[in-house]
Amino acid sequence: MSQRFIFSLFFHLIITNGISVPVLWSAELAPVFEQLKQSAVSYENNGAICEQVTRLKLQERFPELGFRIETGIVYSDDRRTIGELDVVVFRKLDGQAILIAEVKCWKNLRSAIKKAHDQRARFQSVIQQGVPVDFHSAKDRFDSDQFSGSPEFIAVSQKGGESAGFDMGLDFTLNELMTLRSWLLKCQADRECASE
């Protein structure tokens, strides 16, 4: 990481979602930044940062040796996109999806948990109806049979989300996550981090 980039992190204020967030180097955020800076993910969408931090947290529970973790799997029929699965853990042994995480880092956690539950219900309905569905991410395609084994569903949010009914909270507040997103966007703009 260049000195210019570190300097800019220390001394700039970033406006994120209408909130002035001082961008100061954080001992807790720095290792996550280092892990994500070569991920080649677009962070233009606010949700991408929470999905990527969720992916990292799930890697602690599901190591790469036996599992594959994917983000942003879209499912669609012949006519339209039906929905998106934010983070999915696949067992490498048989390719089965064993965990699906709906990730919502929102200011209004009550609305967020409702949306996560609605998305889970929509996905379960599609699977139960046996509708022919195409599953794909930006880089891979998946077979609908990979989702037929009743994967565990969890709802994930920023720190403190458990009090609103989320199954898992990340280790960072919404402001911290938006700060991390700002660092990654700046790093990508400066061509010092991988981008899509």
> Across the strands, what pairs with 157?
169
Q: Has residue 133 been placed in a domain?
A: yes
Q: What is the mean pLDDT of the chain?
A: 89
Q: Is residue 56 part of a domain?
A: yes
User: Would you state the pLDDT for residue 18?
Assistant: 43
What gap in Å lies between CA 122 and CA 81, rounded to an integer? Answer: 12
Is the pTM higher than 0.95? The answer reads: no
Indicate whether 195 belongs to any domain: no
Q: Contact at 8 Å (CB) between 52 and 95?
A: no
Band of pLDDT at residue 73, cut at 50, 70 and 90: very high
What is the residue whose two structure tokens read 């980039």?
5
Is there a domain that residue 196 lies in?
no
Residue 65 structural domain: 3-189
Q: How many domains does the chain have?
A: 1
**Residue 145 within any structural domain of the chain:** yes
Q: Does residue 194 lie within any of the structural domains?
A: no
Query: Mean pLDDT, to the nearest integer, of 92-104?
Result: 98
